[in-house]
C-alpha cells in the first residue's frame, strides 16, 4: 500500500482539509480532484484566486501546491495511483421524490463510489469525509465490493475496498485553525482485521500533527451518526438562545446578559450561546433535516418533531426580524431604502449558503422595500443567490451603501462593523434613522447617543 492520498471533491471541505494534510505529511503526495474544471483552475491559479476564502488558506496552499499538493480534473489517473481515497463531495438536501426536503441527496456520492470502482487497480481504503446519513458506508461497501461475491469482500478476486468514516468538524471562517488544532479527529471503521488496519492507516495521517489522545476511533455507524448529532446539538443551542431572545424582547430582559450567566455554568459552557438572526451555512439545516428524516424512517416521530422544532425556531427568527422592522418603521417598508450590512452567513467567509440575510432580503422584497446589500467578501454570491429579484443594489463601500437609507440592518458580524464611523453613516441617512443590529455587535449606547433608533435581538 502506498501512502499517497486522493480526495474527490475540491470544495470548502476537500480543498482546505487536503492542504493541511499535505502540509503536515510532506512525504505523501495529495491530489484533490473535481469534475468542476473552473474550480480546479482557481485552485491552480498563479495569483491564488482560490475558490474558497478562509483566513490562512492561501498561505498553506502557497507552501504546498506543486510540492506535494496537486489539483486536477483527471479523476481516473488520481484514483488509479492512490491507495487512500477521501470522498468530500456535496451531499445537499434532496429536493425531489422520496424524502424531498429532508433526506440527503446521495446521487453525487453514489456517482463517486462508481468512479472509484471503475478506476481502481488495486485494494483501496475509501474514507467518507462528506457528512452522510447513518449506514451510507454499507451502501458504499455494497457498490464497491459487490463483484467480490458477498458485498463484504470475502470472496472473489477484484480489488478489496475498506470503507471508513472520517467526518469533518471544521467550521468555515476558522477552517485552517480548526484543522491545525482540532478538538478531536474521528475515525470509524469495521472491527475485523482489515478494518482495524485501515483505521490505523487513517490515524497515521492525522498523527503527523494531532495528539493521539485526540484521535478517536469507533465503529462506522457511530462515526456517521456522531457528525449529524454534533451539528444538531450546535444548531439546537442557537435555536434555544434565539427562543430566549424573543422572550427577552417581550419582557425587557437582555439576552446577552442571560447568555453570559448561563454560560458560566461549566455544565453548559459559554460557546454557541450568541443570539442572532439564526443559523445559516451549508450544513446545520441540511444535517438537522437529515436527522429528522432518519428519525421518521425508523418510526421515531416524537424525536423527529423535536429536531424539526430547531429548524422552525430558526426560520421564525428571520421572520421576526422583518416583522419587528415593519412594526417599528410605522407599519410600512414600501419604497423605503433598507441597507443590509453583511450577507455572508457568518464573518470571515464569503459563503452565503442558507444565509439568514438571504431570507431577510426576500421578506423585505415582499414588502416592496428598496434593498441595498454590502459585504466585504460575499457580494458575488449574493448577486447569484438573489438573481431572480429585481432592483437590488450591491455596494461594497458601507458608507455609500447606507447613504439615504431609512434603516441599516447588520446581518453579519464582520469584525470591522463596530469601528465604522457610525456618525458619518447617520449623517448620510434619511431620518428617523434606524439601525437593527441583529448580531448585537455594535455599541448600542453610542448609537443611541448619535441619534439612531436602535433595535437589537433579545433586547
State which residue, 307 or 452, has the beta carbon closest to ligand NAD: 307
At its nearest, how many Å lie between ligand NAD and the CB of residue 81?
Answer: 16
At its nearest, how many Å lie between ligand UGA and the CB of residue 343?
Answer: 12
Q: Does 169 bind ligand UGA (CB under 6 A)?
A: yes
Q: Does 241 bind ligand NAD (CB under 6 A)?
A: no
Please classify residue 154 by burial: count the beta carbons closer than 10 Å to its beta carbon, then call 0-12 exposed, 13-18 middle and 19+ buried. exposed
State which residue, 202 or 234, has the beta carbon closest to ligand UGA: 234
Question: Which residue among 9, 276, 350, 458 contacts ligand UGA (CB under 6 A)?
Answer: 276
State which residue, 241 or 433, has the beta carbon closest to ligand UGA: 241
Question: Which residue among 12, 71, 293, 452 contacts ligand NAD (CB under 6 A)?
Answer: 12
Question: How many angstroms separate the CA atoms of 66 and 61, rounded?
Answer: 9
Residue of 7, 283, 295, 441 marked active site: 283
Euclidean distance between the first and the last CA atom of the chain, given in angstroms as a whole number: 60
Q: Does 316 bind ligand UGA (CB under 6 A)?
A: no
* Known catalytic membership, residue 82: no
Residue 93 and residue 102 in contact, taking contact as beta carbons nearer than 8 Å: yes
Q: Does 412 bind ligand NAD (CB under 6 A)?
A: no
Q: Does 441 bind ligand NAD (CB under 6 A)?
A: no
Name residues contacting ligand NAD, limited to 263-282 (CB under 6 A). Answer: 282
At its nearest, how many Å lie between ligand NAD and the CB of residue 231?
Answer: 8
Q: How far is CA 410 from the centre of its chain?
A: 20
DSSP β-bridge partners for residue 69: 30, 65
Residue 321 and residue 407 in contact, taking contact as beta carbons nearer than 8 Å: no
Pairing verdict, β 393-394 and 84-87: unpaired
State which residue, 70 or 343, has the beta carbon closest to ligand UGA: 343
At its nearest, how many Å lie between ligand NAD and the CB of residue 204?
Answer: 22
Q: What is the DSSP string of 81-93?
A: H-SEEEE----PB
State which residue, 134 or 198, has the beta carbon closest to ligand UGA: 134
Q: Does 128 bind ligand UGA (CB under 6 A)?
A: no
Question: How many angstroms separate the CA atoms of 232 and 147, rounded?
Answer: 37
Question: How many angstroms separate the CA atoms of 237 and 343, rounded?
Answer: 22
x-or-dash string of contact with ligand UGA, 210-249, rule CB under 6 A = ---------------------x--x---x-----------
Q: Does 117 bind ligand UGA (CB under 6 A)?
A: no
At its nearest, how many Å lie between ligand NAD and the CB of residue 78?
Answer: 10
Residue 341 and residue 437 in contact, taking contact as beta carbons nearer than 8 Å: no
Question: Which residue among 6, 34, 60, 373 contacts ligand NAD (CB under 6 A)?
Answer: 34
Q: Does 182 bind ligand NAD (CB under 6 A)?
A: no
| SS3 at position 58 | helix
Name residues contacting ligand NAD, limited to 125-144 (CB under 6 A). Answer: 130-131
Nearest residue to 344 (alpha-carbon basis) of 402, 440, 415: 415
At its nearest, how many Å lie between ligand NAD and the CB of residue 4?
Answer: 18
On the question of a cis peptide bond just before residue 425, with omega within 30 degrees of 0, the verdict is no
At its nearest, how many Å lie between ligand NAD and the CB of residue 258?
Answer: 29
Q: Does 349 bind ligand NAD (CB under 6 A)?
A: no
Nearest residue to 83 (alpha-carbon basis) of 124, 120, 116, 113: 124
Which residue, judged by CB position, is nearest to ligand NAD in the bound state?
11
Buried b (16+ CB within 10 A) or exposed e, 438-459: bbbbbebeebeebebebbbbbb
Q: Which partner, ligand NAD, ligand UGA, none, binds residue 272 by CB below 5 to 8 Å per kind?
A: ligand UGA
Please classify residue 38 by burial: count the beta carbons closer than 10 Å to its beta carbon, then call 0-12 exposed, 13-18 middle and 19+ buried. exposed
Q: Does 314 bind ligand UGA (CB under 6 A)?
A: no
Grid look-up 485553525 returns 177
Q: Does 89 bind ligand NAD (CB under 6 A)?
A: yes
Buried b (16+ CB within 10 A) or exposed e, 45-73: eeeeebbbbbebbbebbeebbeebbbbbb
What residue ranges bind ligand NAD (CB under 6 A)? 8-14, 34-36, 39, 75, 88-91, 108, 111-112, 115, 130-131, 168, 170, 172, 282-283
What residue ranges bind ligand UGA (CB under 6 A)? 131, 168-172, 231, 234, 238, 272-274, 276, 279-284, 345-346
Amino acid at each position: 500500500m502506498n501512502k499517497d492520498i486522493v480526495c474527490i471533491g475540491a470544495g470548502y471541505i476537500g480543498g482546505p482539509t487536503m492542504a493541511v494534510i499535505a502540509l503536515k505529511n510532506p512525504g505523501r503526495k495529495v491530489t484533490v480532484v473535481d469534475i468542476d474544471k473552473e474550480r480546479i483552475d482557481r485552485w491552480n491559479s498563479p495569483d491564488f484566486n482560490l475558490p474558497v476564502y478562509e483566513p490562512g488558506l492561501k498561505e498553506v496552499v502557497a507552501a504546498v501546491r506543486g510540492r506535494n499538493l496537486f489539483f486536477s480534473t483527471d479523476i481516473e489517473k488520481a484514483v488509479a495511483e492512490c491507495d487512500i481515497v477521501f470522498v468530500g463531495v456535496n451531499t445537499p438536501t434532496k429536493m425531489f421524490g422520496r424524502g424531498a426536503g429532508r433526506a440527503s441527496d446521495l446521487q453525487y456520492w453514489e456517482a463517486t463510489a462508481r468512479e472509484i470502482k471503475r478506476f481502481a487497480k488495486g485494494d483501496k481504503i475509501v474514507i467518507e469525509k462528506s457528512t452522510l446519513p447513518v449506514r451510507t458506508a454499507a451502501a458504499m461497501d455494497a457498490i464497491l465490493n459487490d463483484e467480490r461475491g458477498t458485498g463484504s469482500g470475502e470472496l472473489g478476486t477484484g480489488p478489496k475496498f475498506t470503507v471508513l468514516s472520517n467526518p469533518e468538524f471544521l467550521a468555515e471562517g476558522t477552517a485552517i485553525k480548526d484543522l491545525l488544532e482540532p478538538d478531536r479527529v474521528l475515525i470509524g471503521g469495521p472491527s475485523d482485521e482489515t478494518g482495524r488496519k485501515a483505521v490505523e492507516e487513517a490515524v497515521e495521517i492525522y498523527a503527523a500533527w494531532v495528539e493521539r489522545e485526540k484521535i478517536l476511533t469507533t465503529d462506522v455507524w457511530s462515526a456517521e451518526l456522531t457528525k449529524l448529532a454534533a451539528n444538531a446539538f450546535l444548531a439546537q443551542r442557537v435555536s434555544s438562545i434565539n427562543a430566549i431572545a424573543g422572550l427577552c424582547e417581550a419582557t425587557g430582559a437582555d439576552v446577552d446578559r442571560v447568555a453570559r450567566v448561563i454560560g458560566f455554568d461549566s455544565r453548559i459552557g459559554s460557546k454557541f450561546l450568541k443570539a442572532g438572526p439564526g443559523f445559516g451555512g451549508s450544513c446545520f439545516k441540511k444535517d438537522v433535516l437529515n436527522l429528522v428524516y432518519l428519525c421518521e424512517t425508523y418510526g421515531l416521530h416524537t424525536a423527529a418533531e423535536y429536531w424539526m422544532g430547531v429548524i422552525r425556531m430558526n426560520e421564525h427568527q428571520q421572520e421576526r426580524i422583518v416583522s419587528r422592522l415593519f412594526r417599528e418603521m410605522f407599519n410600512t417598508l414600501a419604497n423605503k431604502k433598507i441597507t443590509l450590512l453583511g450577507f455572508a452567513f457568518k464573518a470571515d467567509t464569503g459563503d452565503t449558503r442558507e444565509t439568514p440575510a438571504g431570507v431577510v432580503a426576500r421578506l423585505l422584497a415582499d414588502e416592496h422595500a428598496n434593498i441595498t446589500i454590502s459585504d466585504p467578501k460575499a457580494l458575488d454570491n449574493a448577486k447569484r443567490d438573489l438573481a431572480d429579484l429585481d432592483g437590488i443594489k450591491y455596494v461594497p463601500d458601507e458608507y455609500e451603501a447606507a447613504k439615504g437609507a431609512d434603516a441599516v440592518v447588520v446581518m453579519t458580524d464582520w469584525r470591522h462593523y463596530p469601528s465604522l464611523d457610525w456618525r458619518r453613516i447617520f449623517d448620510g441617512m434619511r431620518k428617523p434613522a434606524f439601525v437593527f443590529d441583529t448580531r448585537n455587535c455594535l455599541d448600542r449606547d453610542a448609537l443611541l447617543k448619535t441619534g439612531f433608533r436602535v433595535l437589537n435581538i433579545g433586547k
